[in-house]
Amino acid sequence: MGDCCRHANFFRLCSGLRVLGYAMVLLVAIIVAVSYYAVVFVAWGPRLLHGGPLSILAFAVVVPFHILLVMLVWSYLMVVFHDPGAVPMDWYPASKDNIEATSSASLSDHTALDARMSSLEESERRPSIRYCSHCQNNKPPRCHHCSVCQKCVLKMDHHCVWVVNCVGARNYKFFVLFLFYTFLETVLDTLALLPYFIKFFGDARNHSGSPGHLAVTFLSFVLNLAFALSLLCFVIMHTSLLLSNTTTIEVHEKKNVVEWKYDIGKRRNFEQVFGTNKLLWFFPMYSKHDLENIPALLGLEFPTRSDFEV
């Protein structure tokens, strides 16, 4: 019995979270469908044909609703299907200082003492390399092994059951946009359905109105209000993490240092995730220029405070 417990890999149980994740994806689809039916078909869609101020108000609700829904679904799909970033096989950091030291050594004839001193200086410059025993591979900075995905994830933030995927260097922007647009959508839905939620009690008491419509409106209002309140906390949290260039996993590590080495200023921290192209900040995509010039977007190299200190 003791041997069985000693050799058992309890981390395999984490793979069961994948099944839960698929259930969460289905739940998201159901919530979107219920909200769409309540806002567009029951509450405001029919009022587009009434004319006058009521139609204008309905237009002001329905159009932003669809815009936010498109951005929400687009961002969500990008988080679900986009690879957060995996470590290349036999990865090893390319150090410019090491390359230069090696090149100069090959061109000159050092004495044994000089060679030993050069080797010592080189070892001091060489970054400490972590190793993953599960993947049998080196680990870049800010990389962590996910027991659910069974792989090392670049700049891993967390494994999210809502998207059946890890959130890492290459899809964190999409995740933040998904939170942002979902929060705005649920707030809009809550405000749009509030008059009908209040009216629900009167209609239920007088037995007027369609029971199905009343039930859908009530359910949609409660769901959207609950998600709006909970998402507000996540939006605030990830905004703080984004502006300090910290992942959810690194929060504890950051508490143990005086200055967080990856905090290079709010503007630069933001660009390390969203890129420098302002036109694409609100879209789940990157420009080719940013992908080629911001190594942090690929998740293998990250600038530190020392890179910007004079």
Domain boundaries, the chain: 10-90+158-304
Quick one: pLDDT at residue 256? 83
**Contact at 8 Å (CB) between 200 and 214?**
yes
* Residues belonging to the chain: 310
Quick one: pLDDT at residue 221? 94
Torsion of CA 41, 44, 46, 51, to 10 degrees: -160
CA distance 47 to 59: 9
Residue 31 structure tokens: 């919530």
Residue 94 structure tokens: 């390319």
CA distance 21 to 62: 30
Reference 166, options 227, 246, 276, 86; nearest CA is 86
CA distance 167 to 83: 9
Reference 203, options 214, 195, 193; nearest CA is 214
The verdict on whether 149 is a catalytic residue reads no
Quick one: pLDDT at residue 258? 84
Task: Flag residues of the chain having pLDDT under 50.
Answer: 1-13, 96-126, 310
CA distances from 239 to 195, 242, 246 (A): 31, 5, 10
**Contact at 8 Å (CB) between 264 and 307?**
yes
Q: Report residue 141: phi and psi, to 5°.
A: -60, 145
In terms of DSSP bridges, do strands 130-132 and 151-153 run parallel, antiparallel, or are they unpaired? unpaired
Q: Where are the alpha helices (DSSP H) in the chain?
A: 2-7, 17-36, 53-81, 96-107, 112-125, 172-206, 211-243, 251-255, 266-274, 288-293, 305-308
Given the residues 132, 160, 166, 233, the one annotated as active site: 160
Quick one: pLDDT at residue 196? 85
Taking the model in full, what pTM does it have? 0.82
Beta bridge partners of 152: 145
